[in-house]
A and B are shown apart, each in its own frame.
Chain A
Amino acid sequence: DAGVIQSPRHEVTEMGQEVTLRCKPISGHDYLFWYRQTMMRGLELLIYFNNNVPIDDSGMPEDRFSAKMPNASFSTLKIQPSEPRDSAVYFCASRFGADYNEQFFGPGTRLTVL
């Protein structure tokens, strides 16, 4: 398996633009997680899905952020409109089954909002 795939790897955009980050989890994994990493706050969970259903989005910072998982092999994280403080590295991770199983992380998308 190719592991968790994220695209794009780098994104530079201007304030006010819409940004869409994409993730393909490992085949067969039924949990998908979106994390954000910043210097100030470290790694924090934004939202997670189980069987394509959003379970907890309490980490989503504002209404400008939204996430979807239309099927088991694809998820998006959208920011609209983007702001400079959204600049960060966004990681997607997936896991199979129980909470004690390992999460596998994608390479991340480095977002810069000018």
Chain B
Amino acid sequence: KQEVTQIPAALSVPEGENLVLNCSFTDSAIYNLQWFRQDPGKGLTSLLLIQSSQREQTSGRLNASLDKSSGRSTLYIAASQPGDSATYLCAVTNDYKLSFGAGTTVTVRA
């Protein structure tokens, strides 16, 4: 059974600092890995999708890396802003199924 772990569970940084969020998974036979953002009481917003053959994906201030063999992914958010405050979820696809981590709750202090 795939287990997805996200560390840390919570993170508080001053505005402007770079954010580093970690995700690890136990079964490396994945099709892809997705990073989602979830605001309190809201749904899931897909941020980045990395296919298993890719090493990284970038979108604006966001960069996600994938090391499939070691079962790790890292989400970098450059020059954080208060609007980046949210919970970030990592999810991996094995066969048909998305398995989610518990998330990292980020607070960016103005």
Contact = CB atoms under 8 A, between A and B. Distances in A.
Interface of A: 31, 33, 42-45, 48, 50, 55-56, 91, 93, 98-100, 102-108, 110
Contacts of A56: 96-97
A21 B41 CA distance: 18
A96 B28 CA distance: 23
Contact of A110 (B41, B91, B95, B96): B41
A110 B38 CA distance: 14
A105 B46 CA distance: 8
Contacts of B96: 31, 48, 50, 55-56, 99
Interface stretch (B10-18, B69-77, B78-86, B98-106): B98-106
Contacts, number: 49
Nearest to B49: A102
| Candidate in A50, A55, A98, A105 with the most chain B CB atoms within 10 angstroms | A105
Interface residues of B, number: 23
A100 B51 contact: yes
A108 B42 CA distance: 8
Contact of B44 (A55, A91, A110): A91
Contacts of B98: 33, 45, 93, 103
B22 interface: no
13 contacts: A43-B100, A50-B96, A56-B96, A56-B97, A91-B43, A93-B98, A100-B31, A100-B32, A100-B52, A102-B46, A103-B93, A103-B98, A104-B46
